[in-house]
Amino acid sequence: MTAASLLAVTTAGVASADTSADRDVIQKAMDQLTSGGGALGVQARVTDGRQRFTARSGKAELDSDRPVPLDGRFRIGSITKTFVSTVLLQLAGEGKVDLDAPVDRYLPGLIDKQITVRQVMQHTSGLFNYTNALPLTPDEFEKIRYKHWEPKELLAIATSKPLDFPPGTKWSYSNTNYIVAGLLVEKLTGRPYEKAVEQRILKPLHLNATEVPGDNPNINGPHAHGYWPVNGKPSDITRINPSVAWSAGEMISTTRDLDTFIVALTSGKLLKPAQQQELVKTTVVSPDYGLGLVVQTLPCGTKVVGHGGGIPGYSTELLTTPDNKKRLEMSATSAPAGGDSGPAHNAILNGVFC
Q: Is the dihedral of CA 271, 276, 282, 283 positive or negative?
A: negative
Q: How many helices (H) and strands (E) does the chain have?
A: 10, 10
The DSSP bridge pattern shows strands 41-48 and 326-333 to be antiparallel
Q: Name the DSSP class of 38.
A: S
Q: Is the dihedral of CA 97, 100, 106, 107 positive or negative?
A: positive
Angle CA 77–256–145, to nearest 5? 25
Look at residues 206, 110, 207, 119 and name the one whose alpha carbon lies nearest to residue 159. Answer: 110
Catalytic choice (78, 85, 253, 341): 78
How far is 68 from 201, CA to CA, in rounded Å?
27
Q: Which of 238, 110, 232, 128 is nearest to 182 (CA)?
A: 110
64 among known catalytic residues: no
Q: Is 319 exposed, middle or buried (0-12, 13-18, 19+ CB in 10 A)?
A: buried
Q: How far apart are the first and last CA of the chain?
A: 27
> What CA–CA distance (Å, rounded) separates 253 from 72?
8
SS3 228: strand
CA distances from 175 to 59, 133, 223, 252, 325 (A): 31, 12, 26, 17, 30
43 forms beta bridges with 56, 331
Q: Which of 87, 155, 153 minimizes the C-alpha distance to 115?
A: 155
List active site positions.
78
